[in-house]
């Protein structure tokens, strides 16, 4: 075999080996290839990297509200859920995740998170719909309810909450304080409203349809109770607009 023929034989052999091998040694597989963070469109990865630290693995048992909760996800609509993810909640530890608000997620990634939370955890087909007040206070007012009144809210508290949280809200036989100033500094008005309406069932807090009273709270009673809770904040933060304008809360001495 001439050197020329030998070189041609080696070339053909190498080509055959290359074409018959799916990848070179050390070459990453498709699953191992690096992807820019802005291009990640996998729900589990996005949730794990951005949400699980506060809301818990799988959407439960974190320090913040459980997101894997059908009642909550049927209470908050997609637009409001996207807005919370996109813009965060002022004066709380919930940051804005949208790039335009200083975060690192694209609009497509935020849409994916909201859609998948709803479809995977909201259980829209198996969920038994219940009539709940509107998510936002301003929508409640648009539906005909009056602004929240803290004086009326004190009565609502006594009727629906005092059996568990105590006569003054500082804790009872089965539940802790809900007027602790450190707690009230950490949560927005909207967070209080959400908890009153849908509860936090993974830590034993019932929703407004299953209070200790024989009757569930009305939309007006929810607004009044939230107004009372907000009025318990230290004065420096009492008028802070965190999810609800102070103009929507009627002070106790107002007539």
**Structural domains of the chain ordered from first start:** 41-121 (1.10.760.10), 137-250 (1.10.760.10)
* pLDDT (tens digit per residue) in 164-220: 899 999 988 888 899 999 989 888 999 999 999 988 776 655 555 555 555 788 999
Most confident of 31-35, 126-130, 149-153: 149-153
Mean pLDDT of 88-109: 94
Instruction: State the pLDDT at residue 248.
Output: 43
CA 203 to chain centre: 16
Instruction: State the pLDDT at residue 131.
Output: 76
CB 92 within 8 A of CB 187: yes
According to DSSP, the β-strands at 148-149 and 249-250 are parallel
DSSP 8-state secondary structure symbol assigned to residue 105: B
Instruction: State the pLDDT at residue 252.
Output: 40
Q: Of 206, 194, 183, 226, which Cα lies nearest the Cα of 93?
A: 183
In this predicted structure, the answer to whether residue 50 has a pLDDT above a threshold of 80 is yes
Instruction: State the pLDDT at residue 15.
Output: 57
């Amino acid at each position: 075999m001439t050197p020329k023929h030998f070189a041609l034989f080696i070339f053909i052999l190498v080509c055959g080996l290359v074409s018959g091998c799916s990848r070179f040694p050390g070459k990453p597989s498709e699953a191992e290839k690096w992807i820019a963070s802005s291009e990640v469109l996998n729900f589990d990865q996005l949730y794990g990297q951005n949400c699980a630290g506060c809301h818990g693995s799988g959407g439960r048992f974190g320090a913040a509200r459980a997101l894997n909760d059908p009642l909550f996800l049927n209470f908050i609509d997609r637009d409001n859920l996207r807005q919370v993810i996109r813009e965060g909640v002022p004066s709380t530890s919930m940051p804005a995740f949208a790039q335009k608000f200083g975060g690192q997620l694209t609009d497509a990634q935020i849409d994916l998170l909201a859609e998948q939370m709803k479809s995977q955890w909201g259980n829209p087909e198996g969920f038994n719909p219940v009539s709940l007040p509107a998510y936002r206070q301003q929508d409640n007012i648009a539906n005909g309810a009056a602004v929240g009144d803290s004086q009326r809210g004190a009565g609502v508290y006594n009727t629906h909450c005092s059996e568990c949280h105590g006569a003054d809200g500082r804790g009872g036989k089965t539940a802790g304080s809900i007027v602790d100033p450190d707690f009230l500094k950490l949560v927005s008005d909207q967070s209080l409203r959400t908890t009153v309406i849908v509860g936090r069932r993974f830590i034993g807090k019932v929703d407004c349809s299953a209070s200790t009273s024989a009757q569930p709270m009305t939309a007006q009673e929810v607004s009044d109770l939230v107004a009372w809770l907000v009025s318990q904040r230290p004065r420096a933060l009492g008028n802070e607009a965190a999810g609800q304008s102070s103009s929507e809360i009627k002070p106790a001495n107002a007539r």
